[in-house]
Chain A
Amino acid sequence: MRDERKLLGILGVLVAVAMVTALFSPSFVSAYNIENLLRRSALFGIIGIGASLVIITGGIDLSIGSLICLVGCLTPWLITVVGVTPWLVVPALLILATLLGMSHGMLVTRLKLQPFLVTLCGLFIYRGITRGILADNTVGFGTEGSALRALGNGRIQLPGIDGFALPAPLVILIVIAVLSWLLLNRTVWGRHLKAIGCNETAARHCGISVDRVKVGAYALCGLLTGIGGVLFVLDTGSAQPSNFGNFYELYAIAAAVLGGCSLRGGEGSIIGVLIGATLVQVLRNAIVLIDGIPDSIEFAVIGGIILIAVIADEAIRRFTAANKSMK
């Protein structure tokens, strides 16, 4: 019940921010802007889901942005510079991302390292490797792989609507979201994932192989990050290793937290993450569109909104707890 209230709350904030933005900037509701907003939200939604799976176990993944950089830069580099066929490049990079995620999980469970540290090292290592491979040069697709690029920047025309088309990543997100929702809420693995986040000792006492489930969560986060990395670069067409994907892990974590994930673990919903990811993108969009808000304060606004959301959540939690104990 509390979860639903949380979702409604964050949805309310999203609607409010969107309405205010529309009021101040009519171009917010233009077909072009909506389409772009949906595209960005979808891309960040995908990596937000990945982050939330790890956060539900009580862990964290800080390497998301750098892994996006690695996958995002290697995709055009392998296709245009090395000359590998695109249909091999993408699956290979997705497998690589999954394995890297899995390695985070192994380090966390087998060596009992802290997730923060493991993935902080990942953050440095993956970006460093990418910059090394590309010698800090920007890579683009040029004329290659245009069929593939439709996955990122494709537009699916809807019959009878002009000027607006469904962005291809949105379709991919919907598929991923449905699958993740089923995984989290309808499979044994998902149930165990939540149980581990709730109370790891209890999970162990129930005979759940905690380590395997956790490694799975990190691997899936890697895979979703990889998918995000590929789609991001397919959308933009080129990538610069020194800044591609910078801070994306923080957008992903912000989406997860706004969507109701607790960093203590055990809580989180896919729908919440999607709303959270959208809210972050709407905020970024609003700052760009509304005259009078300098673009440079983007981070301050996002940080402020998250802080308010977290404080409100805590206040509501204490209020209900106090109410309950009075009874």
Chain B
Amino acid sequence: MKRKSLITAAALLAAAGAIAACSPDQGKSTANAGGNDASSCTNTIPKKQLPVVTMWGWYPNTQLVVDNFNKQSNEVQVCWTNVGQGGDEYDKFQTAISAGTGAPDVIMIEADRIPTFQIQKALVDIKNYGFDAVKANYSDGAWKDVSIGGAVYGVPVDGGPMAMIYRKDIFDKYKITPPKTWAEYEQAAQKVKDAGGPLFGDLGANVPAVMMALQIQKGATPYAYDPAQPESIGIALNDQASKDVLDYWGNLARKGLVGTQDQFTPEYISGVINGKYATYISAAWAPGYLTGAGVGKGEDTGKFAVAPLPQWDSANPMQVNWGGSAFSVTSQAKNPELAAKVAYGLYADDESLTDGWTNQIIFPLNLKALNDPKFVDLKVSFFDGQQANKEVYVPAANAYTGMTYSPFGQYYFDSMTKQIGAVIDGSITGAQAADRIQEDVANYAKEQGFTVQ
């Protein structure tokens, strides 16, 4: 009896050991893997003799982009890991910063997060590592979003010029034309509702970046931040424009004109597929996402179209941006100069860019692609052949002038999400939400040692 149990236990141990031994990253070789260790790449490195730069990113076609880069480069190879998307990746990066180890050499981040990491000295200024050679490849606005003061903390890849995606079948059925202003948007919503139609749009608590962009569109300037004086920051999250926009959406929700579903959830996708929402206020990368989620296929084919974002003042239109990412070099990079080569070169070759925009995964900021007639004139199949880039997205991108982001983006968005949630459940008005966000974020800033103006 005893022998048998012992044998069982020994066998289990042996099995555990065997599995451990089988996995390629056993024991000590995995120390700091995913970050600085090249042994844990998702991709295969073709030129093994070259030095390796590690990279985190989540573009759906990253594999192809990395392969293209590695094929062309004779100086350096990229080792890529996908540690999660957006917030998940930032949490990992943040943790690695705190731990002082575990971060990759190059990281994909959204432009609005750059100040958050820069203030922790987690990013490297790459201006002296070949900026002049590629400067002309991007617009000044694109550079502005990744720069702080005179320093450059990222290489722009894609942007998210915003627009209004709508369902042609619903618009036809209720005889409405795409609204040009937010007042018209509300009227159209009311008209559809009165006729017993579906919801007109959606106010999602989990997309605070949209709310921020829409507030900026009305003239809000959430942050005033000069990196020359990093300890001082201006926070204006409850000015009239911010309040108005929150109130506007709060009212639409209260009147039942728009839904209050979190976006990107299965519930929301299902709603988009089944025509539960007449419009979707979103960015240029949205069609690729929706296609992947199963929208616009089967019965839905060709039902979608896109129109410019409604305006507050049609005489002075204002274009805004949602999402879009850059490649940054982290301060844990072993060889920043080499890492900068990767940041500048990755997703900058024609083949990768073309793959990105044909599949609508990215709205390219690289002028080579942006000015490419093939890109501009593309007849987008998701929009039933509409020349969406030429008509809507490219003009919107060209009119975009950049924004100033805060060094505590995570806290700001968390706070915003919470208060939008409160607006949705009707416990506070939009204006009250703006006041609370202001108070919350300002307190946090003071607590973190900033002087708030």
User: Do A and B interact?
Assistant: no
